[in-house]
Structure 1
Amino acid sequence: MAEETTDVLIVGGSMVGLAQALFLARQGIRPLLVERHAEISAHPRAQAASPRTMELMRALGLEDAVRANENPHAHYGDVLQAESLAGPELGRFDGPFRHDPNDVGGTGWTLIGQDRFEPVLRDRAVELGADLRFGTEMTGFTQDDDGVTAVLRGPRGGGGPVEYTVRAEYLVAADGFRAPVRSSLGIGRHGQGVFGRQMNIVFHADLDPYVAGRTFFLCFVNNERVKGVLGKLGGDGSDRWVLAPSLPPGARHQEYGTRECVELVRAAVGVPDLPVRIESATSWEIAAWVADRFRSGRVLLAGDCAHVMPPTGGFGGNMGVQDAHNLAWKLALVLRGRAAPELLDSYEQERAPVAEFTVDQGVIRYLQRSGLDEAAAARHRPETTVLFGHVYRSGAVIAEGGPDDGAPVEDPTAPSGRPGTRAPHLPVVRAGKEMPLHDLFDGGFWLLAGPEGAAWESACAADALPAGVSFHRVGAQEPGATVERFLTRYGVDASGAVLVRPDGFVAWRSRDLPAKPAEALLTALGRILGRVSE
């Protein structure tokens, strides 16, 4: 018999694993997370939280906490190109992290390194009851039809490392691009493979004389000795920076000692005798691939173990956070018995096509640095489409009749409001206060009705519903312009309604008021949760 039990065991304590713990804890599930490293990594890795990720953070009340930890040069936005920081400038260009000019989302990018974002996720997850165990490694696991038995090794009860077993209903693998859990399950991967390897060197040096009052978020340096990116980090005063140089084919960061790292920093700054203190160094692959499956029985893959993409565009880590968000509400409803276990099938059905699309978009942006062939350039989609245009097709969406081109995205600047798409952004008024619509979506279903849809409210209060549904009538307090925007963007009449899932995606739409709204809502919710068939 296992020595401990938990509903969900999360393997991996970086951004995706911590987000998974946070989203589950917000749903009232107390997960157990294990991470083999003793603490959060000091390396920034992912450099930005996307508008979609910030939308999720805002709904959790964490927007201010995340923005308070932005990188020191975040507000500058643009990117400097130079031979070296002290050398000739080669140009400037707008960074990829500008505010959304199309008002598709309710919030913008936050330029925050992963090293500063992860503590915000960790602290809130712990506050909500998640059990996080750093310095603890999963050394093996087995699964059967009823759950997963994992062998863990780490400190326990105040003593030194010991080995013990945990029985979990489900296991979420968030163990990064090396993906030992995925490999042990025999799940393959496909894609374009490895493009190269990049190193991260965190160092301390006084670079103010060489910045010379110039404003930039990042500095791309390119000379005979080093090609890479310089960025200023927060913490430990004003002299902490990171250099991310490209490595030669086949090289690893372990081949670079302190002296070699100092030489790379000096070459990037352009000052041969610059005083430098190296804090740490690591490296990672620039690659593009997607796992062949996102699930094996009771084990589900999220983040880099399910998909890896080049860093251009800032999509990778944010995709992982959204994997976790998609999965959390489904796990919670299944664990509570409010949804059939088949609801979890929708996770791969929804996220795998989006991963394929987003990986391709990351590759396209990476190749833009060296010139694109026409076929790749033709596939390029705007940032807002990559971030907000996802179209889900699964058992957790009630599709409507009519033509469907099967595309994984649609243009979110001209939203259809159809089931499977993200609920279009809208300013709504609750208790006299205007707020972005997605602030409402913090864990449960919502029914949004038109101004003549008051009859839907009693349907949401029906005892027979398998899950709670909150109600908002657009027009009860909103001005006429907002009402018209709602009706147009959501494709409903004044008496119609849309059911929005806990992750902010439209699950079902009734264009007008049916004869029996409570029965219609009950049937729709039952189908979405796998409790009734079509």
Structure 2
Amino acid sequence: MAVETTDVLIVGGSMVGLAQALFLARQGIRPVLVERHTEVSAHPRAQAASPRTMELLRALGLEQRVRERETPGAQYGDILQVTSLTGTELGRFDGPFRHDPNEVGTTGWTLIGQDRLEPVLLERARELGADLRFGTELVSHRQDADGVTSVLRDLRDGTERTVRSRYLVAADGFRAEIREGLGIGAHGRGVLGQQMSVIFHADLDPYVAGRSFFLCFVSNERVKGVLGRIGGPESDRWVLAPSLPPGASHREYSAEECVELVRAAVGVPELAVEVESASSWEVAAQVADRFRDRRVLLAGDCVHVMPPTGGFGGNMGVQDAHNLAWKLALVLRGQAGPELLDSYEQERAPVAEFTVEQGVIRYLQRSGLDAEAAARHRPETTVLFGQVYRSGAVLTEDGPDDGAPVEDPVVPSGRPGTRAAHLPLVVDGRTTPLHDLLTGGFLLLTGPAGAAWEPAAAAVRAATGLDLTARRVGAGEPPETVERFLKAYGVGPDGAALIRPDGFIAWRTAALPADPAEALGSTLARLLRP
């Protein structure tokens, strides 16, 4: 049997696997992706792309494509809590909104289900050269010192082929077959409940009664769950996600029983309902004990599972993929040592622990199970943009460090390991958000008196071959933007901050050193070969 070769084999073609393929392809790496299903899922599952996810996709020129496929009639309203749609209104929670009032992010939420987002990721990944193979499953894989040998099976004709890859990325979802096969356990609260998704058609507009809401949490003696519209404003297509008894599955519910659950959620016993499909899953909270086993790296739900409240799960997986892509690309090109990949778990595992707990807090609050959870609740802006990385890929500074996994991004510290604060820069006469410039390489952002950094960066780029650009804030920006930069990044007029391809600050210096090229070159060497 002939052996096919590739740099990276990705297992799993859902939201995270497709994002991994896209981000690698954008870096010039042509991965092979395999997915046992023949096409992307028809179920919406994750209902929204977060502002951070949209920021990453925007830098790839995909924001407009995603917004064009937004769930028709998407409503950026509150989250409603009721006994039934026609019953008593128990309260409202803040829902996701398109615009961030704190101007922390580049862009806002997009209410788009995975069934609409995944085709966008798939289409662009293929355009950039990723080899995506649906209807194909991983039969086995074996690691050695130089790579991974995998056997793949085409489920349409049963033929098998062997693929040799330098790395394997497992994005195979919450069932985590690859992780468990490697003997990697998980810890956390475990299973919190069982949930079902029932996609159905019914005319609910008379019972919505003009109210605007993103999701509606229903709680009565017959059904506890979440109700939401997934069709256009005139559509009769909805989804009900009711809680199930422990261990139960959608397979135990007939179409008529699903109809009765919908009727109970709406509060109309004779409501005309047509069930389209149903599926079920565990509501759980856990984090893998490890995110890597030698040449196998794990991303998405196989390493962190959280309740859907907050919309963090799938978005977290996309950011795993983005964190991993640039590191893999540098290692594969020989521009970084393989030890750089150790920083993936060092950075993402603490963030996963924090985010899973925030998802649990929201689940307990909105399910009415824990009134005290509010004391541990952190704002969405902090969860999405406040991560603090500590790893070999960050040159941490001397001084106090409370060890917290997040900081308040509304008041950015500018310290290495935090996301680079949003700045409205002027490029070719047009205002351009800073994160739009992060398309795969390093960016050295300097103060207005930092002209000497530009030839220094050019020298390092020529010597190393790294994608490195220097940009002086103040070359075209108004004084208020310059002041904002100096304050948010904690540097002086001739200082600089080195921003990684994923938008996080790797290093900063308050002032221009005696030999800026040597300082920058040695800094990058320490970061890429920690």
Q: Do residues 152 (structure 1) and 152 (structure 2) align? A: yes
Q: Do residues 218 (structure 1) and 218 (structure 2) align? A: no
How far is 1:465 from its partner? 2.9
Structure 2 partner of 1:524: 523
How far is 1:248 from its partner? 1.5
Query: Could you say what secondary structure the match of 2:159 adopts?
Result: strand
For each residue in 1:136-176, what CA deviation from the matched residue of structure 2 results, as whole angstroms up to 9, or x when unmatched?
A: 11011111111111111115xxx723111111110000001
Structure 1 partner of 2:4: 4
Matches within 5 A, 1:434-449: 434-449=431-446
Query: Could you say what secondary structure the match of 2:75 adopts?
Result: helix
Structure 1 partner of 2:134: 134
Structure 2 partner of 1:188: 185
How far is 1:212 from its partner? 3.3
Query: Could you say what secondary structure the match of 2:278 adopts?
Result: strand
Query: Could you say what secondary structure the match of 1:169 adopts?
Result: strand
- 8 Å CA contact retained: 2:51, 2:105: yes
Distance 1:215 1:387 in 2: 25
Structure 1 partner of 2:74: 74
- 8 Å CA contact retained: 2:194, 2:282: yes
Structure 1 partner of 2:230: 233
What is the CA RMSD across the aligned residues, in angstroms? 1.8
Structure 2 partner of 1:514: 513
Q: Do residues 271 (structure 1) and 268 (structure 2) align? A: yes
Q: Partner amino acid for 1:55?
A: E
Distance 1:48 1:97 in 2: 10
Distance 1:410 1:210 in 2: 42
Structure 1 partner of 2:377: 380
- 8 Å CA contact retained: 1:73, 1:217: no
Distance 1:126 1:234 in 2: 28
Matches within 5 A, 1:324-473: 324-369=321-366, 370-372=368-370, 377-462=374-459, 463-473=462-472
Structure 2: where are the runs of 5+ without partners? none
Q: Partner amino acid for 2:15?
A: M
Query: Could you say what secondary structure the match of 1:199 adopts?
Result: strand
Q: Partner amino acid for 1:510?
A: T
TM-score (structure 2 length as normaliser) = 0.96
Q: Do residues 163 (structure 1) and 160 (structure 2) align? A: yes
How far is 1:409 from its partner? 1.1
Distance 2:440 2:231 in 1: 32
Distance 1:269 1:431 in 2: 54
Structure 1: where are the runs of 5+ without partners? none
For each residue in 1:395-443, what CA deviation from the matched residue of structure 2 results, as whole angstroms up to 9, or x when unmatched?
A: 1111111222211111111111111110011111111110111011111
- 8 Å CA contact retained: 2:79, 2:215: yes
Distance 1:231 1:373 in 2: 24
For each residue in 1:431-476, what CA deviation from the matched residue of structure 2 results, as whole angstroms up to 9, or x when unmatched?
A: 1110111011111101101000011001111121351211211000
Distance 2:520 2:91 in 1: 57
For each residue in 1:156-197, what CA deviation from the matched residue of structure 2 results, as whole angstroms up to 9, or x when unmatched?
A: xxx723111111110000001110000000000110111101
Matches within 5 A, 1:239-278: 239-278=236-275
Query: Could you say what secondary structure the match of 1:161 adopts?
Result: coil
Q: Partner amino acid for 1:317?
A: G
Moved more, 425-434 or 381-390: 381-390
- 8 Å CA contact retained: 1:466, 1:525: no
Distance 1:431 1:296 in 2: 45
Q: Do residues 319 (structure 1) and 316 (structure 2) align? A: yes
Query: Could you say what secondary structure the match of 1:217 adopts?
Result: strand
Q: Partner amino acid for 2:497?
A: V
Moved more, 233-242 or 377-386: 233-242
Distance 1:235 1:101 in 2: 27
Distance 2:93 2:467 in 1: 48
Moved more, 421-430 or 245-254: 245-254
Distance 2:216 2:377 in 1: 25
